Each structure stands twice: as C-alpha cells, then as structure tokens.
Structure 1
C-alpha cells in the first residue's frame, strides 16, 4: 500500500530468517564453489508436485507470555482502525482523479485487512497484526486528509513528541520485576520488542511534506508511522501492566538479567567459534558435490541460522534489551547445535538422496513430533525458544498448500526444524542456569 519510501513493519517473530530460508540458494553456501555451475547457468530443480497435505499443520501451543493478554488491547486497535477508515469516503472527492482512485483502492484494501481473520498463533502476534492494520488505516486517512487540503504537519509533530515521552517514561521504569528471572525474561521480551518497534517508527525517517496536497501519499506514510508507534507503546504498557497485575511477589530482576545476558553473550560467541572450528570453518564440506540433494539446501538453511547468532545477541545487549538478549542467546545456541548436527549427518551420508513425496512426509512427521515433544514438556522458556521450529513447519505447509513448494527445499527446511527443535531443551536449560 505504501508509496514512496518503504515502511518499517518489524515483527516479533523470526520472519527474517524464514524469508532467508525461502530464497536461500546453495550457490551462496561456503564450500559450494565446486558445484557444476558455469557462467550464468544455474542448475534448477525440476518442478515436483507435492500434495497440499504433504506436511500437515502444527498446532501452536499456549503462549509462553506469563499472563493473559487483555482483549482490550486488540479491541482498541480495531476500534481505532475502523474509525479512521470511516473518516474516508469510499469514493473520495479529490480533484486529482488518479489520487482519488488510489486512495479509494487503498481504503478498500485496508478494509479487507481489518475484516480478515488473524492467524491462530499467540496473542502478542494478534496484537502485531492489529498494529499493522491500524497503520494501514492511518495511512489511508492521512493521505485523504492531505489530498483534500488538511495540513496535519503540526499535529503530527506534537504526536511524535508525546509518543517519545511515553516511550521514554516506560523504558526508564523497567526493572524487570518478576517472580523469577526466567519469568521476567518471558514477560519483558515482548515489551522490549514493542519499545524497539516504537523507536523505529517514531523517528522522522519519512517527513510530513511542506505541501501535503502535492504529496498526499508521503503525508499518509508519515502519519502511519507515528500511528504505529503510538500503538506499539500502548501495547508495551498494556502487556507490562497485565503481567504485574496481582503479582505481589514480583521483585526487580535487573541485576540477574544483566549478568546473565553478558555471560550468555560470551557463551554464544565461544560456541559459534567452536562449532565452526570443529565442522571445518567456512567450508565444512570442502569440494563435495551435493547438487540435487536435500543436503545442498540443508547446508544453506543451517548457514542462515548460525550466520547472525552473535550479532543478534550483541545487538540486543547494546540496546539494553536484556530479556531479548537471553531469548536470542538461547535461540543462537540451538541454531549452532542444529548446524553442527546437520554438517555431521551429511558427512555420515544422510540427507544425500533425491527427495520424494514419501521422504517429505516422513521428515515432516519427525519435525512435528520433535517440536511437540518440546511443547509437551511444559517449559515456557523452551516453548518460546522452539518458535522458529513452529514457524518453519507452518511456513513450509503454507507454501506447499499454495502450490510453489519444491520437494528438496521443503524437506531441507523440515529437517532443519527437526534438528533445531531437538537442540532447544538443552539450550533452554543452559539459559535457565545462567538466569537463576
């Protein structure tokens, strides 16, 4: 919908990793330079038809957030979004016919999104979906008001200052109060994510135009970013309040989280270096020709997982997001172990066959079973850490259902989800020991 410069639509989930998985090619993997590619020629997998039920859906577990997310938070977003769209007529009376048509189309699209069902993941994800819908509605309304001669520049500047003040007050008051350090991590990680989302969107990266009539869509985008930041800080305050409500035994866990995050940073860095060293550095499989096999894609997926492990933890600590750093560290440790296991299994001759429908089905069954075992252990921290496995299985299932999932890539991603989930319990236990 956005015209002009792009709009930041950050997410709590690791969808960046999934997007990388979707486009990962084996030619980009260290050690694959010996594959038989010449010039611009690229070996492409022949289309393989997989039935829509080849993977099967996976049920999301109860949210690891240690409190009930108030329905009022989502209700507020919906009310606000519908109210803003109601301010825009279906057939906008705008002098510029092309602008009028575009605003009308955007309004219709935003209405469809508001009316659409939200995926059954976790309540914090539902809030994220509603913030995006609210942002879309604000963009339409902002563009309409600009196109019809209303200059919202001064009001928007005042709103931006107010949001910054609200965010600063909330961030400065976080002491990681909780009944345990582990519970504090699970409670404050989404709060930190929301405060980061607010900070990204409240920056005037897209400025309100001096002549809004001439640039209505830029005006709409500027309005939308501030609206998104308002929504994010409101959700952050709401989640924090929901968690602390009635918890008389909650005590500040700041010192525990800061110390644990710093120690985990070192553990992640050492683990990554050790795994790289023991698996052969940047070229773990040397000159082996894995073309056409699941192993080729599995190496690419595993490389994506381990590639940014240290940076993710460092980024969180540098931002002062110590709960996020603990979660990222646990994820990074599981990713490193998944990578190590993947390389060793390939060296032992596994994952080298050309995939079939039967092999995709069996790999999917193993991945779902391994993820379910983690969830069934009733460990909220492990449940939070296993999220990438849940997302990968669901992502592959959706892609196949939509008719464009290749057997080789799908099986590789599912194999990685299995390996990653297998590593989660130990990673969760390690993080917990550092927190307690």
Structure 2
C-alpha cells in the first residue's frame, strides 16, 4: 500500500529528473549562454506521440460524422456572397464564413479522440453562429426557435441524468468515463441557460444573436456526445454495476489526502519565486515556479466545487484529486531544486530539443504504466506545457527560457502521473474492501 508520504517521496524523486533539461542538476548557470535565433525553430516542435487514451474505450470516428454533416449544412445555408445592408457586419460574416470553411477542410489535429470530438463540436458551433448572425443581419428573428430548442435540451438533459446510475466495470473506469460525461453535461447546463438571451431586436445585436444560436447548438451537440459515449461504454462491457457510492466515499478520502498534503507545502500561494526565496533566481527557475505554484493554487478548493456541482460531480472530483497530488509532487521538487540552486539555466537550441524529446518520451511511456488510461487522464493537466512551449517558440512571441521551462514542467508532470494514478487506485480499493 502506497501511503501519502511515500507517494510524495517517490513521485518527487521521479519528477526531479525533469528539472535538468539536458544537463545535470548542478546549480544555476546561463550568464554566458548564447542567444538563440528563432529561425532555429521555424518548423516548430514535433507533435506529441501516440499514447494510451484518457478513456478506457476507443471512441469511433463515426461519432464525428454528425458534427461534420451538421456544420456543412449550416455553412451551406449562408449564401457565398450574402447581401447584408450593414457593411461592417457583412465583412465580419464574410471573414467568419472563410474561417469556418477552413476549419471544415482542416478538421482536427488533436492527439486524443475525445479532443477531436470536442474540436468538431466547436466547428459545428461556429457554423451555427455564422448562420444565426447572417439571419439576424438580414432581418430574421430566431428568438422563438432558440427558446424552444433550449427547452427541449433541458428536458432531454433531465431525462438523461435521471437515468445515469454511474454503472461501470470498476471504480477506476467509472472515474474515467463519468468525469468525461460530467464535464459534457455541465457544458450542456451552462449552454442551455446562457447569461445573455437571444436579443429582442436581433438586427441591432447581430453578434449576440449569433452567440445565442451557437450556444444552443453547442448544448445539443454536447448532450448528443455524452449519450453516445455513455452508450458506447456500456455496450462494450459485459458486466457493470453502480459505482456511485464508491465515488462519493472515494472523494471524501482523497479530499482529506489532498488537503493534508497541501498544508505541507511552503510558498505555493505566491507566483513569483523571488518573493518566496528572497533572492533572484534564473528565468527558467522563475517560470517553473510560476507554473508549478499556479497549478497547485488552481487545485485548491476544486474538489469541493465538483462535489457541490449539480447532484455532485464525484468522478471529476476524484480525477482532480489525482491531478492535484501530481501537481503538488512536482511543486515540491521544483521548490527544493530552486532552494538548492539545482535548476539548470543553460538554454540552447540543443537543450530545448532535448527537453522536448524528454517530454515526448515521458508522455509516450504513460502507455506502459500500471494504469495507463488513468495515468494519461491525470497527465493531461501537465501536457499543456508542451503546447505552451510550441507557442513560446513561435517567432512572434519567441522566448527560449519560457519554452525550456514549459517542456521541463510537462516532462515532470508526465513522470509523476503514474504514481498519482496508483495512489488513487489504492485509495479506491480501500473504499470497496
């Protein structure tokens, strides 16, 4: 059995190897580091590798088809050269039309199937916004239709959630599947009850009208995906039982563990390393500290918020607990390395490429973890560091130290994720014993 203390010690030892970049942890350097020309990275960084999915089932490509068809149908309902009295609005709609067409052609380059599905929902929503804006700009009022569609979505949502028993083959799969559903259903609730209604005079509020139509479309597509994913999962499991009570008790146990762990951390309430350590630190160290402390701060109170959402988003709360524990292990390693002057500040084109390779390797290795799907689901909270690095290497925003720090953070987070997953699984087992 992995205790909370042994988890932190073991995960910290794994994480700290991600601090070095391509050098040893032998203190800050960089005073004579040569400047890096952004042209070195004009082709960017390689994409993330294929690894285990964050869900225990494969999402069939066919689930994308309704979104693609609907998006094309919506776009094709807008004339290629629309006649709109307001010239400013006409130009905006023309630009939006081009953007949506480009998205239809390019599709999605997301790493995970669940994100491909999300991207197509987004494209479908953009297409609905385009049509809604066009109709408002040409004197049409869709207020009644939008209201009826929203009412229908809310009724369908109520019926779906009333029958949702959180059935799964085991608690871990329940966390993975129902955290995904909880997030989709929360989107539906928000989109079906927007803060800004369809305008009374749409021709005078074209943007608001388009947004209202988009939110309604988003609510319908999110609910459709939630239903489809749920059914896909149940169809692929011979035996399932309700995991609801296990998730509730597991959330209570993990909430205590995360709160207790957070109390052992120093300085995470601050974003700036210089404030915590009362001295100047290198730029890589400063950025690492900011990323690590920000993630720990964002997790504070998040589990409670999930528990209070609707009837309780307990699967999401448990997944957040795993991510929170991983984030705290990374933070502890970053803190100690800065405290001991053990963050390598040498940043070169070679070191960035090496750190990027380390990040890809750590993410690819998640497939070999004891609990690969859960490890990936936890690690996704840190994978954004790789995308951050890619943006930092864009010639428009080029910042080599930021890129280096982001890559090291992504590596560290991916390396501790399997330990956090194991800890989470073991806590759930104690609940069911």
TM range (shorter): 0.7 to 0.9
Find the counterpart in structure 2 of residue 175 from structure 1: 165
Structure 1 segment 87-236 matched on structure 2, within 5 A: 87-236=77-226
1:49 aligns with 37
Q: Report the equivalent of 1:411.
A: 404
Q: Matched residues in 1 for 2:52 and 2:125: separation?
A: 27
Distance 1:281 1:392, change over 3 A: closer
- Match of residue 396 from structure 1: 389
Q: Partner of 1:358 in structure 2? A: 350
Q: Deviations over 1:315-346 (max 9, x none)?
A: 21111111111111100000000000111112
Corresponding residue number in structure 2 for 1:328: 320
Q: State which drifts further: 370-379 or 248-257.
A: 370-379
In 1, the alpha carbon distance for the partners of 2:34 and 2:149 equals: 54
Question: Quick one: distance in 2 between partners of 1:339 and 1:175?
Answer: 37
Deviations along 1:232-271, one digit per CA (max 9) or x if unpaired, are 1111111101100142301111111111012111111111
Separation in 2, partners of 1:271, 1:405: 36
Paired residues, number: 391
User: 335-344 vs 414-423, which deviates more?
Assistant: 414-423
Instruction: Write out per-residue CA displacement over residues 89-144 of structure 1, whole angstroms, 9 at most, x where no aligned residue.
Output: 01112233333332222222211112113114111101111111111111111111
> Measured at CA, do residues 157 and 293 of structure 1 come closer, stay the same or move farther in structure 2, by a change above 3 Å?
closer
Q: How many angstroms does 1:193 deviate by?
A: 0.9
Aligned partner (choices 293, 297, 318) of residue 303 of structure 1: 293
C-alpha distance in 2, partners of 1:79/1:307? 41
| Distance in 2 of aligned mates of 1:354 and 1:246 | 50
Residue matched to 1:428: 421
For residue 406 of structure 1, report the CA deviation from its aligned partner.
1.5
Tell me the CA shift for residue 371 of structure 1.
Answer: 2.8
- Worse-matched range after superposition: 185-194 or 373-382: 373-382
Structure 1 counterpart SS, 2:265: helix
Deviation at 1:280, TM superposition (A): 11
| 1:88–1:294 distance in 2 versus 1, CA, 3 Å | same
User: Retained in 2: the 8 A contact 1:54–1:360?
Assistant: no
Does structure 2 retain, via aligned residues, the 8 Å contact 1:107–1:140?
yes
Contact conserved, 2:272 with 2:289, CA < 8 A, in 1? Answer: no
Give, in angstroms, the shift of residue 167 of structure 1: 1.4
Q: Structure 1 residues 282, 150: closer, same or farther in 2, change over 3 A?
A: closer
Q: CA deviation at 1:376?
A: 2.4
Q: Secondary structure of the equivalent of 1:151?
A: coil
Gaps of 5+ in 1: 1-44
2:315 aligned with 1:287: no
Q: RMSD over aligned Cα, in angstroms? A: 2.5
TM-score w.r.t. the length of structure 1 is 0.83
Which residue pairs with 2:24 in the alignment? none
Q: Structure 1's 131 and 341: CA in aligned 2 closer, same or farther, altered over 3 A?
A: same
CA contact (8 A) 2:150 2:216 kept: yes
Does the CA-based 8 Å contact 2:50-2:364 persist in structure 1?
no
Aligned partner of 1:11 in structure 2 is none
In structure 1, distance between residues paired with 2:62 and 2:353: 41
After superposition, the Cα gap between the structure-2 partners of 1:82 and 1:192, relative to the gap in structure 1 and judged at 3 Å, is same
- 1:307 is paired with a residue whose SS is helix
Is this contact kept in 2: 1:58–1:394, CA < 8 A? no
Distance 1:59 1:408 in 2: 23
Equivalent residue for 2:22?
none
CA contact (8 A) 1:295 1:351 kept: yes
Q: Distance in 1 between matches of 2:364 and 2:401?
A: 24
- Cα distance in 1, alignment partners of residues 345 and 61 from structure 2: 49
